[in-house]
Structure 1
C-alpha cells in the first residue's frame, strides 16, 4: 500500500485501554544534529531514551530522515499516550530535563526541536497483524481551510477500498492536533515497508478503486482530492534501533 496519498501509518501502537474514552496521541520532535557533533548527539540521545523512554506510555522511537529538506535530521516519536498522561511525564524532578539539556540539546542546531502532536484515527485505519518497523514512507497533506470534512470523507472511501480489496494491508491515518495554515501539515499518511524495492511496485489502487466505485471513479477521486488539498510532501524515515528506547516490534491490540 503506497503513494499517492493515503494508506499508511504513523507508528500505529494500539496500546490504550479499550475501556478508555481517550484517544492515542503521538509526540514528534524534529532534531537536527550539529554536523560536527553527530557522534555526541547520538550517544546522548541513545542514553537519554534508554533511561527515560524505555517502556510504557513514554516509550520513544527514533527515525532518520533520508530525503527532502530534512535529510540528515532525526524524528523522535513518543506514544501513543492519552493527553492526561502528560501531567505525569518525566520532568525536572526525575532528572529528565537536565539530562536532555546537558547531553542532547547542546549538540543540535539552532533550528532544531520543532514539535507536533498527531492523533491516531482508529476508525479510518486498519491493522490486521503484528509487524516490525524498519522503513516508512511518510506523506503529509495540507488540507484547504473549510475542507476538512470533505477531505476525511475521501480518506474514508480509500479506507473502504482497501478493507474490501486488500484486507491484509496495514495502514493508519493521523491528523495534526495543532495544525497551522503556515505549516500546512494537517494529515499524516505513512506506509511501512521492509525492502526498498517496495517503492517501485505498482500497488494498483486505481483499478481497485474503479472496481469498487465504477469506471472513471479514480480520476474523479484525484480531481476531488486536489479540490480539498493544497498539496503535500513525502519523506522516507528509517527506524534507528540503537538510538531508540523501545524496539520496533508492534503488537496490534484486539478491538471490539
Structure 2
C-alpha cells in the first residue's frame, strides 16, 4: 500500500490551463505532495536508486516526477515529491508498466528510504492564482496557513482581494493558491500559497504590498484586511523548496497552456 500511495503522488508539477475550472460542475484539479527522507548512512544508495527509477519510469507524461529539497522548518533536509495537477478520475486509470515499476521501486528505493512518509492532496484554485505562459521551476516559497473552523468562504473572499493586487501590481510574479482536500483541525496545513522565484535575493525584496494594496482597494483597506486575516487564521508556516534536477524524472520547464489529458 505504501508503494502505491507514494507513487500516486509523483508526476509533473503545474501543467495546466488557467481556465480548466471555469465550470464548477466539472472536475476540479488537484496537486499531490509527499515528504520523504533517505535513511541515515544510505544517501548515495538512495540517490542512485531514485535517479535510475525516475529516469526509467517517471520521465514524462502524467507520471513525470519533480523532486525538491526542503531548506527549513520541521522538514529540513527532507525531500518533496509533487504530482499534478490532475483530476481525481485520473487515479482510476490503469498504470502502464505497473508491475515492473513496483518491483524496481521495492528493490532499489524502498530499502534506503525512511518509513515516515507524509502525503497531502491540494485543490488548485486557478481563479486565485497567476502563472505566465511558460517558466522554469527553480525555487519555491511555500506558505501554509491554519484556517479557523467555518472560515473557508471568508478566506476565499479575502484571498480574491489579494489576487487582484497581485495581478495589477505584480503581473509577472508566478504563484498558486491551494486548499487541503483532507484538512484536519490539528494539522495546520489548510491553505497554501506557492511563490516561484529564481534567486535567493528575491526573499529580501520589499514588495511594498501594503502600499499597493491600499492603491488598489483604497486608503486604509490594508489594515482592515490584516484584521480580517487575523480573525480567519490561527497561524502559518513557511518552507523553501529547491528543485533537484538530478533526482527528478523531468526538467524544470513548466507549460501552463496544456492540461492533464482526460
Scaled by the length of structure 2, the TM-score of the pair is: 0.86
Aligned length, in residue pairs: 245
Tell me the SS of whatever aligns to 1:242. coil
**In structure 2, which of residues 80, 86, 89 is the aligned counterpart of residue 84 of structure 1?**
89
Is 1:184 aligned to 2:198, yes or no?
no
Say which is worse superposed, 42-51 or 140-149, in terms of deviation. 42-51
Match of 2:31 in 1: 26
CA distance in 1, matches of 2:14, 2:83: 12
**Does 2:109 correspond to 1:104?**
yes
Gap regions ≥5 residues in structure 1: 1-9
Answer yes or no: is the 8 Å Cα contact 1:12–1:172 preserved in 2. no
Contact 1:58–1:89 at 8 Å: present in 2 too? no
Match of 1:36 in 2: 41
Equivalent position of 1:209 in the other structure:
213
1:82-113: per-residue Cα shift (whole Å, max 9, x none)? 111112253884322222222222212232x1
CA distance in 2, matches of 1:185, 1:191: 16
Deviation at 1:11, TM superposition (A): 4.5
2:61 to 56, 59, 83: 56
2 CA distance for matches of 1:95 and 1:244?
19
Q: What corresponds to 1:195 in structure 2?
A: 199
1:16–1:47 CA distance, 2 compared to 1 (3 A): farther
Question: What is the deviation of 1:35?
Answer: 2.2
Q: Does 1:144 align with 2:148?
A: yes
1:14 aligns with 2:16: yes
Contact 1:57–1:80 (8 Å) recurs in 2: no
Partner Cα distance (1:128, 1:80) in 2: 16
Task: State how far apart, in whole Å, the 2-side matches of 1:44 and 1:28 are.
Answer: 20
Q: Is 1:174 aligned to 2:178, yes or no?
A: yes
- For residues 99 and 91 of structure 1, do their structure 2 counterparts lie closer, same or farther at Cα, with a shift above 3 Å needed? farther
Cα distance in structure 1, aligned partners of 2:94 and 2:38 = 25
Which blocks of at least 5 consecutive residues in structure 2 are unaligned? 1-11
Q: Does structure 2 retain, via aligned residues, the 8 Å contact 1:29–1:116? A: yes
User: Given that residues 161 and 212 in structure 1 are in contact (C-alpha distance below 8 angstroms), is that contact kept between their aligned partners in structure 2?
Assistant: yes
* Counterparts in 2 of 1:172 and 1:42: CA distance versus 1, 3 Å: same
Secondary structure of 2:68's counterpart equals strand
Change in Cα spacing, 1:17 to 1:161, as seen in structure 2 (3 Å) is closer
Aligned counterpart for 2:163 among listed residues 159, 163, 171:
159
**Whole-Å Cα distance in 1 between the matches of residues 90 and 107 of structure 2?**
25
Q: Structure 1 residues 109 and 186, CA, compared in 2 at 3 Å: closer, same or farther?
A: same
User: How far does residue 128 in structure 1 lie from its aligned partner after superposition?
Assistant: 2.7
For structure 1, which segment, 20-29 or 195-204, has the greater mean C-alpha deviation from structure 2 after superposition? 20-29
Are the counterparts in 1 of residues 18 and 256 from structure 2 also a CA contact under 8 Å? no
TM-score by length of 1: 0.88
Cα offset for 1:170?
Answer: 2.1
1:253 aligned residue (217, 242, 257): 257
